[in-house]
Structure 1
Amino acid sequence: MPWHALTILALAACVTLLTEIMPAGMLTSIGAGLGVPQSGAGQFITAFALGALLSALPCAALTREMGRKRLLLTGLAGFFVTDCGNALVTNLAASLVLRFLAGCAGGLIWGLFAGYAARLAPAPARGRAITIAGSGVTLALVLGAPLSALIGQVLGWRGVFAGVGISSGLLGLWAIAALPDVAGMRGGTRLDLLSVLRRPGIVAVLLVIFSYVTAHSLLYVYIEPLLAPSGLAHRVDGLLLVFGAGSVAGLILTGILIDRYLAGLGTIGILMLILATALLAAALSEAQVVCFAVVLWGMSSGGFAAITQSAMAHISGDAMDVAQGMATTAWNGAVSLGGIIGGLLLAHQDVGYFPAVALGLAAIAMIAFRGIIAPRLVH
């Protein structure tokens, strides 16, 4: 197993997700700094997701034959520029433009990420390689998000953005020196998006990603107001650590079992999200219930990306890069939709509606996974 290269990819995944989600624990300070309400500050995440949504498919199609390393470095350079830029600008419009451009860099990285990791490893261990590289996602959730919230209280949200931007630049320098390149898909039939989309199972995987991630982002982007009924809003950093601890447990189990029990892991992961949202819907004002639900939610999300990326790789075959670009589009479209739905609910209703909507979306993901995808993953 190429541990060194997978470590660099894991850290690239970490800074990509951290750039996307770090505003979630700082909505109050971002809003105060820019003179906008929490619902407006929440659009920091929506703008990033929109950039990734619009860039992922064109990038995957246009760069299919290019070396993966050059593309990864381009994405990291994009984070360096946009995150450091957001540490300096003073109005919401400029900040959202930079967040959109950061999302474009994120769409580029997410579109190549799984295929890069899979091609670095021997065929029987590709699922494990994707999981190892994807551990950076959990690292961002476990340490990055809560530390961002804590550091933001000391240095301000601009200091957090500057720190992540500088970290992206340093990681890019390390990758230049130490990351092996992997060639793109050269020769063969040029795949158009519609022909890939028509392959059996592709649409179902996209539906699972879209419904699950919409539910997840609806809760995660607005976790600070979501915790208010239980009296835990002032402990958002601690709850993010609880969420992250659950994610670590889910990721470890996924890494151990993914190459043998992919269908079962997907089923259990979605079921845990269903249970978590049901508990939140029933007892949002009970602190202990909320904490337990957050653990279940974290365990569910910890392995979800690796599970769906592995399922997509299994189903898509030689169209892996284009299919992963579609998955990135679905993922970030869902993040955008979750942010928009959450903003509307927060502005016109109350947070009690959040878990009920998320529960319905998780149920859709379960139906699609069990009905269409799982039978195709049984060896």
Structure 2
Amino acid sequence: MQNKSNALRAPDGDAPISSPASPPPGSAWLAVLSVAVGSFALVTTEFLPVGLLPAIAAELAVTEGIAGMMVTIPGVVAAFAAILVTVGVGKSDRRHVILGLTALLAVSNLIVALSHSLPVVLLGRALLGIGVGGFWAIGGALGGRLVPAASATRATAIIFAGISLGTVAGVPAGALIGEALGWRMAFAAAGAVSVLVFLMQLFLLPRLPTDKATTFAHLPALLRVKKGRLGMLATLLVFIGQFAAYTYVTPFLTQISGLSAKATSALLLTYGAAGFIGNLIGGWAVARSVRNSLIATGLVMGVSAALLPLLGTTLWGATALIITWGLAFGMMPISVQTWMFRAAPDAMESGGAVFVATAQVSLACGALVGGMAVDHLGVASAMVVGGAFAIGMAAAIAAWGGRDEGTAVKLHAVH
């Protein structure tokens, strides 16, 4: 939206930002596509270890719980990066920032693919965390800057579609590559995609100057709103629950359900496809009741994950529960983000980095909590622990969520 000074209001902070020179429509949409492919590459790389965990643990001679640090470390780093990158880049051209973050993604994949030492692997994953946190604090806002205001929603949807595609195809594709050529080749392939994304963005992204820097003073606005704080608690609980269980779903399916590597990869693909459908269901559900959508998401996700050790010991039982879980996972991002926008639409502009940081640190804590459960109680326990956190989120919203309020906001899936 333009004001009298022809500036835009930046979703990554309170600072107004200058409109870029209007490129031809085709060039604008190609620029949006380059950011969308970047989001796909980030999501794919962030969760690539999920489908490769047993092979990684075996080659590096560590437990699967320790190998799960490959998910924990980037989540922790991303939590800090979301805030520090947002503030630290100051008035830098956002084009240069995005290119730098994409370059970190390529370097991260190269380090992981070539390293035979767990500490060096984790260093590479830490670099990924900088890219993930910085991208979601800044990159998600680019859609409205690359195209005319009337097309901003569509552009943002395209960028976030990269997340859904990464969830649907990225993790199982990595698992299939890992099975056929080894887990290192899966990271090498992700690195090659990262290089291509960098080249796309280098040639397609226009200059994206910013007039005013975001400061630390802008960040706490979201926490001053009661429903905003409740939304942050819901984010904490549901992300911990999701990734305490999902990080270790591959070992569960191979060890407890007794599935082959190919069957596990196929089931992961089915999970992602169910998530895509769940995203559509979530859009319908939040239009009717955000509160009920969040409660349903937590209950369905929690119960399906917690029942896996009991009913998921056969192919058919595991398939039914994984599909159900995938549907709830697809509903989760749109339900959480819609709650946050309705609770504090103005604060989300200045507090968006805090929201991203909360989601990422919750993701990291989930992988850590799940890993501790796996190492001490067995892989099945991670499903129960994750399910309990998700159900806890549903209980918190049911107890303190009150009635739905605010104007409907049309949103699209986010990670």
Establish whether residue 173 from structure 1 lines up as the match of residue 199 from structure 2.
Answer: yes
Tell whether the 8 Å contact from 1:148 to 1:160 is kept in structure 2 after alignment.
yes
Opposite residue 198 of structure 2, the aligned amino acid is G
Opposite residue 289 of structure 1, the aligned amino acid is G
1:128-139 paired onto structure 2 within 5 Å: 130-139=156-165
Establish whether residue 338 from structure 1 lines up as the match of residue 366 from structure 2.
Answer: yes
Tell me how many residue pairs correspond in the alignment.
Answer: 378
Partner of 2:42: 16
Q: Alpha carbons of 1:248 and 1:57: their partners in 2 closer, same or farther (altered >3 Å)?
A: same
Establish whether residue 70 from structure 1 lines up as the match of residue 99 from structure 2.
Answer: no
1:229-268 paired onto structure 2 within 5 Å: 229-232=256-259, 234=261, 235-254=263-282, 257=284, 260-261=287-288, 263=290, 265-268=293-296
Aligned-partner Cα distance in 2 for 1:89–1:312: 40
Aligned-partner Cα distance in 2 for 1:253–1:294: 17
Q: Alpha carbons of 1:125 and 1:313: their partners in 2 closer, same or farther (altered >3 Å)?
A: farther
Calculate percent identity across the aligned residue pairs.
26
Give 1:366 deviation, angstroms: 1.9
Q: Alpha carbons of 1:28 and 1:282: their partners in 2 closer, same or farther (altered >3 Å)?
A: closer
Tell whether the 8 Å contact from 1:262 to 1:307 is kept in structure 2 after alignment.
no
Aligned-partner Cα distance in 2 for 1:362–1:50: 20
Partner of 2:109: 83
1:112-131 paired onto structure 2 within 5 Å: 112-117=138-143, 130-131=156-157
After alignment, is 150-159 or 117-126 more displaced? 117-126
Structure 1, unaligned stretches of length 5 or more?
none
Opposite residue 37 of structure 2, the aligned amino acid is L
Partner of 1:211: 237
The structure in which a higher percent of residues are helix is 1
Give 1:252 deviation, angstroms: 3.5
TM-score by length of 1: 0.88
Q: Alpha carbons of 1:6 and 1:23: their partners in 2 closer, same or farther (altered >3 Å)?
A: same
Establish whether residue 199 from structure 1 lines up as the match of residue 225 from structure 2.
Answer: yes
Q: Give the secondary structure class of the aligned counterpart of 2:212.
A: coil
Structure 2, unaligned stretches of length 5 or more?
1-24, 409-415
Deviation track 1:113-155 (CA, whole Å, cap 9, x = no partner) reads 3333355577788666544322212211211111111111222
Partner of 2:386: 358
Give 1:20 deviation, angstroms: 1.0
Q: Alpha carbons of 1:185 and 1:290: their partners in 2 closer, same or farther (altered >3 Å)?
A: farther
Tell whether the 8 Å contact from 2:90 to 2:214 is kept in structure 1 after alignment.
no
Given candidates 169, 172, 177, the residue that maps to 1:143 is 169
Partner of 1:54: 80
Partner of 2:58: 32
Aligned-partner Cα distance in 1 for 2:362–2:198: 28
Aligned-partner Cα distance in 1 for 2:193–2:202: 14
Q: Alpha carbons of 1:95 and 1:273: their partners in 2 closer, same or farther (altered >3 Å)?
A: same
After alignment, is 64-73 or 76-85 more displaced? 64-73
Q: Alpha carbons of 1:217 and 1:143: their partners in 2 closer, same or farther (altered >3 Å)?
A: same
Opposite residue 377 of structure 2, the aligned amino acid is Q
Q: Give the secondary structure class of the aligned counterpart of 2:225.
A: coil
Give 1:180 deviation, angstroms: 4.5
Given candidates 64, 71, 94, the residue that maps to 2:120 is 94
Structure 1 vs Structure 2 CA RMSD: 3.0
Q: Give the secondary structure class of the aligned counterpart of 1:352.
A: helix
Tell whether the 8 Å contact from 1:53 to 1:332 is kept in structure 2 after alignment.
yes
Opposite residue 86 of structure 1, the aligned amino acid is V
Partner of 2:321: 293
Give 1:5 deviation, angstroms: 4.2
After alignment, is 318-327 or 218-227 more displaced? 318-327
Aligned-partner Cα distance in 2 for 1:60–1:10: 20
Give 1:377 deviation, angstroms: 4.2
Q: Alpha carbons of 1:130 and 1:362: their partners in 2 closer, same or farther (altered >3 Å)?
A: farther
Give 1:22 deviation, angstroms: 0.4
After alignment, is 196-205 or 57-66 more displaced? 57-66
Aligned-partner Cα distance in 1 for 2:289–2:29: 22
Tell whether the 8 Å contact from 2:245 to 2:305 is kept in structure 1 after alignment.
no
Q: Alpha carbons of 1:8 and 1:188: their partners in 2 closer, same or farther (altered >3 Å)?
A: closer
Aligned-partner Cα distance in 1 for 2:115–2:383: 34
Q: Give the secondary structure class of the aligned counterpart of 2:362.
A: helix
Tell whether the 8 Å contact from 1:86 to 1:158 is kept in structure 2 after alignment.
yes
Opposite residue 372 of structure 1, the aligned amino acid is G
Q: Alpha carbons of 1:90 and 1:366: their partners in 2 closer, same or farther (altered >3 Å)?
A: same
After alignment, is 93-102 or 201-210 more displaced? 201-210
Q: Alpha carbons of 1:253 and 1:7: their partners in 2 closer, same or farther (altered >3 Å)?
A: farther
After alignment, is 300-309 or 159-168 more displaced? 300-309
Aligned-partner Cα distance in 2 for 1:41–1:28: 8
Q: Alpha carbons of 1:279 and 1:174: their partners in 2 closer, same or farther (altered >3 Å)?
A: same
Deviation track 1:84-141 (CA, whole Å, cap 9, x = no partner) reads 1221122111111111121111110122233333555777886665443222122112
Partner of 1:375: 404
Opposite residue 90 of structure 1, the aligned amino acid is H
